[in-house]
Amino acid sequence: MTKASLQMTSTESRQLARALGWFSLALGAAELIAPNRLTRALGMRGSEGLVQLYGLREIASGVSILSTESAASVWSRVAGDALDVGTLALHLRDDNRKKANVAVAIAAVGGIALLDLACAAGLSKNEAHDRADARALR
């Protein structure tokens, strides 16, 4: 993937941010409401409380993104993606009968992480331009 393919207009960045905000709310709700189903599918039984905490984190990110559409809000998703991959990687063990599901989950989080990263970078660039324009007007 080239750098040019990750660049977005201001409007595209804001639209993607809104979509990611709604995605965060939906994912967070699923993690909060049905942690048993997720942990069972991933061979992570006993981690239901952690999954619920991650759900709260997702909901907080979603609310922040939808409220502000700021780069910082989307960067919080990027940080969450890293945390999710790290947590999932701990369960990518030979003794986990659901190891294949964990690999799929890691790939899915990786794909979303690319969207989060592109969106956060686009919003950061737009915010930097806005600050520069504001300074120029003074």
C-alpha–C-alpha distance, residues 58 and 117, integer Å: 16
User: What's this model's pTM, rounded to 2 decimal places?
Assistant: 0.85
Half-sphere exposure of 7 (CA within 13 A, CB side): 5
Q: Report the candidate in 51, 41, 42 with the shortest Cα–Cα distance to residue 92.
A: 42
Structure tokens at 50: 């952690």
User: pLDDT digit of tens for each residue in the chain (138 aa)?
Assistant: 444 446 788 889 999 999 999 999 999 999 999 999 999 999 999 999 999 999 999 999 999 999 998 899 999 999 999 999 999 999 999 999 999 999 999 999 999 999 999 999 999 988 766 566 566 766
Domain range annotation of the chain: 11-137
Q: What is the pLDDT of residue 129?
A: 65
| Residue 21 CB coordination number (10 Å) | 22
